[in-house]
Structure formats: structure tokens, C-alpha cells
Amino acid sequence: MRLVKTVIVALICVVAIHAQTNRGAISGTVMDQNGAAVPGATVTVTNIGTNQSTKVTTSGDGSYSVNSLDPVEYRIVVEATGFKKAIIEKVKVDTASNATANLALETGAVAETVTVVDNAALINTESGATTQTISERQLRDLPLNNRSVLDLAVTAPNVSGDAGSEDPEVTSGQPVPGFNLNLNGGRSGSTAILADGVNNTGVGIARAVVSFTPETVQEFTVQTSVYSAEYGQTGGGVINATTKSGTNRYNGTALWYNRNPTFNARPYRIGTTPRTPNNLRYNQVSFTVGGPVYLPHFGEGGPALYDGHDRTFFFFALEPRWRQDFVTTTTLFPTLTERSGDFRNLVRTNSGWLPTSVAAQFAGQSANATSSVGPSAIYQQYTINNGRLVPIVLSGGRWFCQFGATAAQGMTLVNGQPQCPANTPIVDALNVIPKEFIDPIASKILKFQPEGTGYFLDNGVLRNAVLERQVTQNEKRYTLRLDHQLTDDNRVNFRYTLTPAIGVRNFGSDVNGSTGVFSDAKQILLGDDHTFSATVVNSLKLNYTRGVFSEDFAPEFSINGGRNLATELGIKS
């Protein structure tokens, strides 16, 4: 008996619990011309896009409420005996918000109709939450630098900070979209980010797990204060996005968004330093289609295999993206002679070690870049014993010798190791590293280093190579959503979103500076909304959300299944 009582109490509590959701509601009061309540009136709320309807009856005080509504536009029809039929043609329900629609009925026959054109303000009087909805029109018309809907969150009151992006920068930094948005004075990382009412906030770092473009989002709502206790885990506010779904009409989008260096504006800069070029090359293509599921009959005549009008709908988006950005820098690479261990005929300068012939060539153009700043010598600091390098231990007052030094340079053996007097004159002919001292693995590694292409002056120093430090990000994103009306009181929906964003950084070659910036995410959502009565609604949402946010080597050399370059070179790992 105690168990039965416990179950009953639990079920009663369930009725009162409001879970996180993107669904909205319409509520209001039906009155006559004298302001008296009209009980027992039939209120029909119809989704304009899908023609799906919900009917409720006004209570004894004339009030009604229709819950668990998709955030779209609805048509309201009110009928009562002895009164003319009243119609409100369009009522917009925002994400996670309640719309209020009150109606005053006129006496007359039910067959007569009164269309309410200019209804009283359709506002949310059920909650005091500070809410701003970014509509589909705003998402479509306003320019978005990163093609992420979060860019428009900063247009809402009580929102500041940086929306961020999941596109990695050229040099460093981990993409954290949404992390640095500050709602209602909250700290970075304290915002709750939802998608279709389910959690879309990262666990390790509170960024958006799956990112959405304007082509896949119906709207999103920003709540910054006095929001419901169901969002109690947030320290600042809530961003709740609703993805697009199909309607009874087939709709689609085909677009190509392009940015390239020819048209890019140069970054703003204070001072006299020249503005650096914007080298970003970005192409985003979006193909979307949505509507009723329709399976035609193959062959001549006969009804369709399945006609999903008013019942089953789909929405699909394919979004390929190609992005490349780079910055240039100059450097001084060693010559092929230096790579072989021969450091003769070099002069040590502010530019680095230069061949004496090159220093002489540019001496008239820049003495600072070519003048000697110190001695140029290669010293032997190890001996080889059974194939292993053994450090030379200097005795008092002695110093390292150049390779191949003899008694002429004062070389003596101390415990079998060559040592020379301090301040021994440098002999340029001895600046050669013997082959046995050069690690064959090091020689293999040097093959990945680019070669110089010719000497030139750059900001007062000599350089022989121009390098690109670049990032490349190519991917295809997918979104699929299905909605189905099982019965008049039961609706189910499914969504699958895949955003495999991987940025690859490198610095001059595929090996040098090779970094993979992973923002690879997916989200699977299954929802079931069942209306048991006007006051009892069950909304079940099951979701699987996974994001891989890390920095690794580029996918080719990733520690998770990529090439092991160390093994290929012969290094133990």
C-alpha cells in the first residue's frame, strides 16, 4: 500500500514538473462583449504550416491553455453556442515562451464569423522572464561574419562578450563558440546553450557542442533573467535554439557564401604601421529542403504510396565548407652545405650565420644585417665510445677544441678526451662536423625542412625564405529532421546533426607545426509529445550529444590512428 501511495504522489509531481524545452504555449481568456467569462467554449489552435490542430475547452472562468507547441505561427478559432465564431488568423509562439491571446465573442449564430485583425497585444503575461527572440527573418537578413546564429545573441539586451567561432585561427587558440558570451552579467562559460530544448553545452568547457547556421535554425530565444527554475543550472542566462522542420509546402535554399582576399577588408590598426592583408578564403555552400514526406506510386495511375501532408514532414540540410587562411613570415634557412655539417666560410651577424660571399654582397645595403657580431666556431663537446656520445668533462682552465684540432692548436688528451687552452685562436678550416657525429635520423628530419630560395633584406635583416603559416578547414555538415503526427494527441520528432569541424595548421611544411584542431560534434534527438488533457502534457526528449574538442597533430599524423612519423624515421616511441 505504501508503494502505491508513493507511485501516486510521484505521478502527481510529474504533472507539475516543467523540463527544459523549446516548446511554447498559448493561453488566454474568452469573454463576451460585457467582459463576462464564457465557459465551455471550444478553442482550436492550428499550426499554419502543418495544419495540425489541438482543441481545448475553456474553464469555468473562461480561460484556456494549449501547451507543448512548436515555436511557429498558429491560427486560433473559438466557437461557443449563442456566439459568433471568432478567429485570430496569426499568433506567433516564440521558443520556450508563452503567448497570450484573449478574445471577446459577439452574440449571434455560430455560422457567423468574426475575424480579429488587430488583436490586443499578444504578449507573454504568464511569465516575467526577460526574453528576446531572434526571428528567422533576422537570421536570414542580418550579415553574420562567422555564419553562426550565436553571432546575433549579442543583439539581445543584457548580452555582451564575444560569440566566438569554431573556426580555428592561423596561429593558436582553441575555438570556443558561445563560451565568452556573458548573459545578465554572468561569467564566461556560465551560459546554458540548448538546441530544441536539449542540452547543447559542453561539459569540459561550456561552449556550444553543435553549431548551427542560419539555414538550419527557425529561431532562437535569449533569456537573461527571471527565467524558470528548470534552467537553474545556468549562472547567467539561456540561449535556446529551435531547428527548422518541414511544413505542408516544399521549401528549400541553395546558396554560396564566399569571402576571398580580393574583396576582404584589411584589419583595423592604430598607428602608422601598414595594415596587413586579410588572406581569408572562405566558401560555404548550403542546400536545404523541407516539406511533407511523399512517396509516389511508381507506374501509371494509382494513389501515392504515402502522402504525408498534415502528418509527416522532413527537413534536410547539406552544408559543405572550404576555408583557408594564412599569414606570411620570413626566415633564414641553413644552406645545403651547412646541413651537411660544413660551417666554413660563414660570418655571424644580426641576421644569423651568413656565407661570407652573401654578407659581402649586401654589405653596402645594410651594415647592420651583414657585419660580424662575434666569432664563428664549431666546438667538439662529445666523443664517441661504442657508438654512443660521451660528454667531454673539462679540466681546470681548459676549453673545448674544434673538430680535428691538433697539437698545433694546443690540443691535449685528458682521460682520452681532447681539450684545448682557453682563448685558442679559431681556425675556420676546422668548422666541419665529421660524418660520424651526424645522427642519420637528424639527416632524415632535415629533409622535411624547406630550402632557401634566395637572399633579401627584410626589416633590417637578411632572409632567404618566405613561409606561410596557414590553417585549412574543409568539411561537410548534415542536418536531418523528421516530424510525425501519430494521433491528434501524440507527436514524435527525430533530428540528427553532424558538424565534423577539423582545422589543420602547419608552418611551411606538412610536418613543421602540424596541428589538428578538432571541433567534431554530433547530436541525435528523439522526442515524443503526448497531450493527455488540457492540463496534463508529457514531453519526452532523449538525446545523444558528443563533441571532440582537442588539439592533436593533423589527422594524417594524429595519435589516434595516424601515421607515426617517429617510427618511420627510426625513433623509438
**C-alpha distance from residue 520 to each of 208, 398, 459, 475, 563 (Å):** 12, 59, 41, 10, 20
- Segment 381-386 mean pLDDT: 93
pLDDT tens for residues 478-511?
A: 999 999 999 988 999 999 999 999 999 988 777 7
Asked whether residue 21 carries a pLDDT value surpassing 50, the answer given is yes
Strand extents, DSSP E, 93-162? 98-100, 103-105, 113-116, 130-134, 159-161
pLDDT tens for residues 324-357?
A: 998 888 999 999 999 999 999 999 999 999 999 9
Q: Which DSSP letter does residue 359 get?
A: H
Asked whether residue 118 carries a pLDDT value surpassing 90, the answer given is no
% of the chain surpassing 90 pLDDT: 58
CA 546 to chain centre: 13
pLDDT of residue 14: 38
pLDDT of residue 127: 65
Instruction: Tell me the one-letter amino acid at 432.
Output: V
Instruction: Tell me the one-letter amino acid at 338.
Output: E
pLDDT tens for residues 533-543?
A: 877 889 899 99
Structure-block grid coordinates of residue 51 = 495544419
pLDDT band, residue 17 (cuts 50/70/90): very low
DSSP string computed for 214-275? TTTEEEEEEEEES--GGGTT-SS-EEEEEE----SS-EEEEEEEEE-TTTPPPPP--SSSPP
Q: Which of 510, 501, 498, 503 is nearest to 552 (CA)?
A: 503
pLDDT of residue 16: 38
- Segment 99-107 mean pLDDT: 90
pLDDT band, residue 177 (cuts 50/70/90): very high
**C-alpha distance from residue 336 to each of 109, 124, 447, 483, 510 (Å):** 99, 75, 10, 66, 20
User: What is the C-alpha R_g of the chain?
Assistant: 36
- Segment 374-401 mean pLDDT: 92
pLDDT of residue 12: 36
What are residue 293's phi and psi, to 5 degrees?
-75, 125
Cβ pair 237, 158 in contact under 8 A: yes
Contacts of 538 (CB under 8 A, 6+ apart): 14, 528, 529, 530, 532
pLDDT of residue 120: 44
pLDDT of residue 262: 86
pLDDT tens for residues 440-467?
A: 999 998 888 888 989 999 988 999 998 8
Tell me how far apart the alpha carbons of residues 219 and 260 are, in angstroms, rounded to a whole number.
29
pLDDT tens for residues 178-234?
A: 999 999 999 999 999 999 999 999 988 899 999 999 999 999 999 988 777 777 778
Asked whether residue 564 carries a pLDDT value surpassing 50, the answer given is yes
Helix and strand numbers (H, E) in the chain are: 7, 36
Q: Which DSSP letter does residue 150 get?
A: G
DSSP string computed for 552-566? ES-GGG-TTTS--HH
Tell me how far apart the alpha carbons of residues 466 and 332 are, in angstroms, rounded to a whole number.
9
pLDDT band, residue 271 (cuts 50/70/90): low
pLDDT of residue 204: 82
| Length of the chain in terms of residues written | 573
Contacts of 201 (CB under 8 A, 6+ apart): 178, 191, 192, 193, 194, 207, 208, 209
pLDDT band, residue 117 (cuts 50/70/90): low
Question: Minimum mean pLDDT among 74-83, 133-142, 445-454, 509-518: which range?
Answer: 509-518
Asked whether residue 159 carries a pLDDT value surpassing 90, the answer given is yes
pLDDT of residue 273: 54
pLDDT band, residue 267 (cuts 50/70/90): confident
Which of 132-146, 247-261, 274-288 shows the highest mean pLDDT? 247-261
Structure-block grid coordinates of residue 305 = 504510396
pLDDT of residue 297: 79
Structure-block grid coordinates of residue 19 = 523540463
Tell me how far apart the alpha carbons of residues 497 and 523 are, in angstroms, rounded to a whole number.
5
Tell me how far apart the alpha carbons of residues 357 and 3 are, in angstroms, rounded to a whole number.
96
List beta partners, residue 402. Answer: 379
What are residue 545's phi and psi, to 5 degrees?
-125, 125
Dihedral angle at the C-alpha atoms of 294, 295, 300, 302, nearest 10 degrees? -80
Pairing of strands 98-100, 24-32: parallel
- Segment 290-313 mean pLDDT: 87
Which of 12-26, 30-44, 218-232 shows the highest mean pLDDT? 30-44
Structure-block grid coordinates of residue 467 = 613561409
pLDDT of residue 11: 37
Number of Cβ within a 10 Å radius of residue 434: 11
Tell me how far apart the alpha carbons of residues 321 and 285 are, in angstroms, rounded to a whole number.
6
